[in-house]
Amino acid sequence: MEGIDWGAFALVFGIALVAGAGIVSFYSLGLRLLAVGSPDDTGPEDARQSSARGQRPLAASVGGFVCLGIGIAGVLYGLYLIIPQFHS
Confidence at residue 54, expressed as pLDDT on a 0 to 100 scale: 72
Q: Please tell me the predicted confidence (pLDDT) of residue 66.
A: 97
Q: DSSP secondary-structure letter at 43?
A: S
Q: Is residue 6 part of a domain?
A: no
Mean pLDDT of the chain: 86
Domain-located, residue 51: yes
Does residue 12 form part of some domain?
no
The number of domains in the chain is 1
13 within a domain of the structure (yes/no)? no
Main-chain phi, psi angles of 10, to 5 degrees: -65, -35
> Within a domain: residue 9?
no
Decide if 14 is inside a domain. no
The 10s digit of each residue's pLDDT in 16-32 is 999 999 999 999 999 99
Provide the domain limits for residue 58. Answer: 21-87
* Residue 3 is assigned to a structural domain of this protein: no
> How far is the C-alpha of 14 from the C-alpha of 41, rounded, in Å?
38
> Could you tell me if 19 and 74 are in contact, meaning their C-beta atoms sit under 8 angstroms apart?
yes
Whether 27 is covered by a domain: the verdict is yes
